[in-house]
Chain A
Amino acid sequence: MSDRLADEDHHDEAPGVSRRGFLSATAAGGVAAGVLPSVLAGPAGAAPAGAPGPHSSTLSVTVNGRRHQVTIDNRTSLLDLLRERLALPGTKKGCDQGACGACTVLVNGRRVNACLTLAVRCQGVEVTTIEGLAAGGELHALQQAFIEQDAFQCGYCTPGQIMSGVGCIREGHTGSREEIREWMSGNICRCGCYVKIVNAVQQAARKQGS
């Protein structure tokens, strides 16, 4: 289904500019930024192709290793881009106000709240969502740990918890249960699985450390 939407997105491109041609033209300059590019690409600069209106921009963003070129309403959050445009609803909308962490994704390897991130700021960045975490069908160690530890119930906060947990492990904040609790407290689990979320993060951190 992501194929379908990616294909639809091609229609946003100007006639005569192929997806392949576009990718090769922008591959060199598009990925130099940190978490978020400090200099925002404006609609014109970001749009070698397409015909965005006064309130829209063309954006090139890599999600789970796949380049997307989309013309978006400037008001679109990264979260809504993922859920409503790129057919990647694994990233959840819990509060849309940066208070619950359900929308946590990795942007250039670091965890961010996708609901507080305007999509237009993501020009050239690499986004990893829950859908992109398993490599070739094999679950990431933390995904596996979540299943084994039963670190979820309803499952709605789970993608955000896992993406946040991946960040937490990468940041090295897994020295103790207390440290994990502190650094995982941006992600609310209303089913109350915190004890097991800590178990799962610990398990995956150990596995990756070994």
Chain B
Amino acid sequence: MMRPAAGTPVSRVDGRLKVTGQAAYAAEHDAHDAVRGAVHGVIVTSTVGKGRITAIDTRAATALPGVLAVISHANAPKLPYRPFRRVTDPPRGEHLRVFQDDRVRFFGQPVAVAVAETLEAAQHAASLVKVTYAAERPATGLDAPAGSPNEPENYQRGDVDQALRQARTRIEQTYRLQREHHNPMEPHATIARWDGDRLTVWDKTQVVLNTRAALASVFGIAEDAVRVVSPFVGGAFGSALRAWPHVTIAALAARQVRRPVKVVLTREQLYTGTGFRPVTEYKLTLGADERGRLTAAVHDIRAETSAYEDYRESLLTQGQMVYTTPNVRQTYRSIPLDINTPTWMRGPGAATAAYAIECAMDELAHETGIDPIELRLRNEPERDPGTGAPFSTRRLRECLRTGARTVGWDDRAPEPRSTRDGDWLLGMGMAVATYHTARAPAQALARLHADGTATVQSATSDMGPGTYTSMTQVAADALGLPVSRVRFQLGDSAMPPAPPHGGSMTMASVGSAVADTCDKLRRQAVRLAIADPGSPLHGASAGDVVVQNGRLSLRDDPGRGETYQQLLARTGRPRLEARGGYTPGEETERYSTHAYGAVFAQVAVDERLGLVRVRRVLGVYDAGRIINPKLAHSQAIGGLVGGIGMALLEHTVTDPRDGRVVNANLADYLVPTNADVPDVNAVYLDGEDREAGPLGVKGLGEVVIVGVAPAIANAVFHATGRRVRDLPITLEALL
């Protein structure tokens, strides 16, 4: 038997392209000859946080040699901006309209673009554009909103007030998370080219179809007049789920100067030109009985959004389903501010909620004297406490026990501040992670070629998890081909539609579509063979024919058969082709499906300096079936590293006087470096979730950042006895 490719640690099929510098990212397609003669657009951004533009002087800029245009609201055409809203757009509000009026809504808003023959000339020109403002003081903090809070999102079950009155133990605390930026290594970039009324863009995007829809709406053209190409994405973590203003700016500039235009955001511009994880204040009250069983929980949440869009994320899910809690009340308010709109960032909502819930659980464990793991086990539900639905699979107990065994949890002295290593106070903490398994309709196209190779495509993306590779594995198994003879293509809006490459749903959705499509193609080949008098398989029953290593044969008589090449050559076909897809069924309603994890952290805190050093992080995950353990492991340790950043380093600092991000660079906005990351490991429980979907996967990318920050915060408490409730935990909080 040919061993299935799915489940094996195949190296990345695009690895060679990436290690040789041949993979073409958004800003590089002009060097790779996909588009020729691109000129450069450099964006000018507002230097006030709110107000109106009173004058724009572009004379010095346009006088420079090589400058083709300076475009601003003063000379930009009125754009149609047809209303549109994709699933990744906020539920309410309007997209920021580029160069359509004189209003400044936030510091760093694009106000003009300088277009020139060379990058140097465009940069210089942008620096010479003089913008005069009538400035107002922007609202940038949760306590001083730009307007009345948006309509809250509420949830309630049981009688919380009575349960809290009767609770044996109460924890009532407020946890604060600062704004975090995705900071993918590749800056967002777009190259746009018009051919008559048809627009092609090479864009950094997790959703080529979103960019296509956005541009069609902005310019009032048909979606099929827009093509979006994005074969490689240099990291995104959610930042490329929407088409941000610079995408429109590139297309607008290209139309104005009648040349292809490339716009690359500077690192600084990424902080206001794309979204971020919003500042969130999470007040949590827990009530528990004498055995530590939760009786009540009140979640009162406030998070920032822009004044022009009401961004929301799934902050409430976890509080409804993670622990048996009969009485729950939740309120989630978004607070409009004079800032750009937040957006999805890895583990959106869940990573934030888990921070508050899992720290509060640690506080409850300490208060009641119950071991933190035992406390979770006592509150483990048998069915989803929110919906009453059965769990498709929930193996959190195994995650907790496996992790505890691996890190030696039972040897941990429970008393805080009880373990030392010289000047270092040592601590070990843990937290639970959950993330909802999302699935969405997807389609694929597969072709079997005369040479016995296959190409399969879907308009999905690969921002790093290895979509190219895992889809190739799924396709190879369904086609009965080795991985080396299958090529998976993605990142082109001309391909069959796929949902956003985010929310951990790519494998479950696109993977299922690929499996369905390739199954159809294989069955088509089998039908062709058994109907063909020239085939050794003529007259066989389709159910008796298997395909292995590109050869069709009878299951019980392997000698009787032929290869795909022989079949296609004899029947005179250049190729066979099939389309297929996946539509989530009732299983998404019938079952409560989530990925789970238990995260363990060991830290050392310098008693005198307050310095926190992570010594070890381990995540143990129940994520259903793992298609590629090698890549899944990378994805998990990457999420854990992101969590280290969230816990200890990452914080976008805004100057309240004018709304400027004061640390909009990678020297002052700290992300984990190699020296910050010692022993980080992840383990996946074997198994699959048969109710989650055809492939049995539950999604990986999000759950692996959830729970890391609270595990580290709880470890810091265990090390020091100091409970720091505001992220990131910096040394001044521990002095």
A residues near B (Cβ < 8 Å) are 1, 73, 75-76, 80, 83-84, 87-97, 99-100, 102, 129-131, 133-134, 139, 143-144, 146-148, 150, 152-159, 162, 180-182, 184-185, 187-198
Contact = CB atoms under 8 A, between A and B. Distances in A.
Given A99-B667, A188-B666, A190-B184, A139 B16 contact: yes
Contact of A153 (B118, B183, B634, B680): B634
Interface string B620-640: 000000000011011101111
Contact of B12 (A1, A92, A147): A147
A153 B666 contact: no
Nearest to B669: A99
- B interface: dominant SS: loop
B18 A1 contact: no
A8 to B, nearest CB: 11
B18, B118, B677: most-surrounded residue (chain A CB, <10 A): B18
A197 B28 contact: no
Contacts of A75: 120, 123-124
Contacts of B672: 192, 194
Contact of B21 (A97, A159, A187): A159
Given A75-B124, A97-B267, A155-B232, A89 B674 contact: no
A153 B466 contact: yes
A195 B124 CA distance: 41
A162 B16 CA distance: 13
A90 B31 CA distance: 10
Q: Majority SS of interface residues in chain A? A: loop
B23 interface: yes
Interface in B13-48: 14-25, 27-28, 31-33
A87 B546 CA distance: 48
B496 interface: no
- What 8 pairs across the A-B complex have the smallest Cβ distances? A90-B21, A192-B641, A156-B234, A153-B464, A155-B18, A192-B638, A154-B464, A130-B21
Nearest to B462: A154
A143 B20 CA distance: 7
Contacts of B123: 75
B186 A92 contact: yes
Interface string B650-693: 00000000000000011100011111011111000000000000
Contact of A148 (B11, B21, B23): B11
Contacts of A129: 21
A192 to B, nearest CB: 3
Contacts of B637: 192-193, 195-196
A42 to B, nearest CB: 18
B652 to A, nearest CB: 15
Nearest to A84: B119
A189 B680 CA distance: 15
B120 A196 contact: no
A154 B185 contact: yes
B266 interface: yes
A134 B19 CA distance: 10
Interface in B594-649: 630-631, 633-635, 637-642
A51 B466 CA distance: 48
Contact of A185 (B234, B264, B673): B673
A150 B630 contact: yes
Given A94-B267, A96-B267, A192-B639, A156 B31 contact: no
Contact of B185 (A76, A96, A102, A131): A102
Nearest to A74: B120
A100 B235 CA distance: 14
A139 to B, nearest CB: 7
Contact of A88 (B31, B187, B635, B680): B31
Given A1-B31, A147-B12, A190-B235, A90 B120 contact: no
Contact of B32 (A1, A130, A146, A196): A1
18 contacts: A76-B120, A88-B21, A92-B185, A92-B234, A95-B665, A100-B666, A147-B15, A148-B11, A150-B12, A152-B18, A153-B631, A153-B635, A155-B18, A156-B184, A156-B185, A192-B638, A192-B639, A194-B673
